[in-house]
Structure 1
Amino acid sequence: MSNPRAEFLAGDRLEDVALFLADAYVSDERLEQFGDRVDDGTLIVVDGERGRNAFQAATGTGAMEFAKSAMSNEGAIDDDLTGGQCPEADDDESHDIQFVFAFAEAQNEEVGGIYADGDVIHAYAQCTCGTAFSDRWTVAE
């Protein structure tokens, strides 16, 4: 039986995107029919175009615009895409992940850096404090 989440995280679904939507951010039981139920929300893996449309419908923001805004602020996103550590978490505010948008990029030795080491997962998250941040890692990690 196919496991879209495991395949995505292994770099086997380069045309797809992954979305994590926290229960506290989007409360809609219908989401479970599209993805995996996880502790604090739902993780969905779908083809790129449908995923970007679903992201916009759920968040009100375009996926690539969100990624661009989060790109300059590095944080730590869990490698299962269901949480992370907000870079602003040193204050007294609550810091919970509202949503994550991720895609994988194929290994590219010509580019160098981590791209030479394997497929790369690009992940972008929104925290309840309003901070958007990014993380990336090779599938081999």
Structure 2
Amino acid sequence: MSNPREEFLAGDRLEDVALFLAESYVSDDRLERFGDRVDDGIVIVVDGERGRSAFQAATGTGAMEFAKSAMSNEGEIAADLAGGQCPDAADDEEHAVQFVFAFAEDQNEEVGGIYADGAVVHAYAQCTCGTAFSDRWNVTDETDR
């Protein structure tokens, strides 16, 4: 595996963070040098400290503060980190993910739950409607999502 995003999603880059920035949110072609182009934006995987700084520069919000604000509102974030389903979306409304901040945590059998089953991806997203939400999953479940 040589793709940083694939390695991150497989739980092999626990010291790194992943960022998804929608084209509609940040339109800077220079970002393609740092990540993977996806349909609606770019996914960047970088070491934790640089990633948190990049997130703050791109969004104007501290990464951990954003994660705390999104933590209590569960939604569905795409397994590839490039989108999701806002929990506040109604059938007749258009919602789109503006950005995602994610990190992975190693398996921890002492904690139990999904942490006992393998590495866990924690992802936090911001919708165009202003709703911040979170999702988490085992890296082994990625293909099931």
Instruction: Please classify the TM superposition score into its range, dividing by the shorter chain length.
Output: over 0.9
Amino-acid identity (%):
84
Q: Give, in angstroms, the shift of residue 92 of structure 1.
A: 3.8
Other-structure match for 1:103: 103
| Structure 2: gaps spanning 5 or more residues | none
1:56-77 Cα shifts (integer Å, max 9, x gaps): 0000000000000000000000
Other-structure match for 2:2: 2
Q: Matches of 2:128 and 2:108 in 1, distance apart?
A: 34
Of 39-48 and 82-91, the range deviating more from structure 2: 82-91
TM-score by length of 2: 0.95
Q: Give, in angstroms, the shift of residue 91 of structure 1.
A: 5.7
Other-structure match for 1:58: 58
Moved over 6 A (4+): none
Instruction: State the secondary structure of the residue aligned to 1:104.
Output: strand
Q: Matches of 1:26 and 1:94 in 2, distance apart?
A: 19
Q: Give, in angstroms, the shift of residue 116 of structure 1.
A: 0.1
Other-structure match for 2:47: 47
Instruction: State the secondary structure of the residue aligned to 2:80.
Output: coil
Other-structure match for 1:123: 123
Other-structure match for 1:11: 11
Instruction: Read off the aligned partner of 2:23 and give its amino acid letter.
Output: D
Instruction: Read off the aligned partner of 1:126 and give its amino acid letter.
Output: Q
Instruction: State the secondary structure of the residue aligned to 2:140.
Output: coil
Do the aligned partners of 1:76 and 1:84 also contact (CA within 8 Å) in 2? yes
1:53-112 Cα shifts (integer Å, max 9, x gaps): 000000000000000000000000000000000000116432000000000000000000
> What does 1:55-94 correspond to in 2, within 5 Å?
55-90=55-90, 92-94=92-94
Instruction: Read off the aligned partner of 2:48 and give its amino acid letter.
Output: G
Do the aligned partners of 1:93 and 1:129 also contact (CA within 8 Å) in 2? no
| Structure 1: gaps spanning 5 or more residues | none
- Alignment RMSD, CA only? 0.9
Report the number of matched residues. Answer: 141
TM-score by length of 1: 0.98
Instruction: State the secondary structure of the residue aligned to 1:7.
Output: helix
Higher fraction of helix: 2
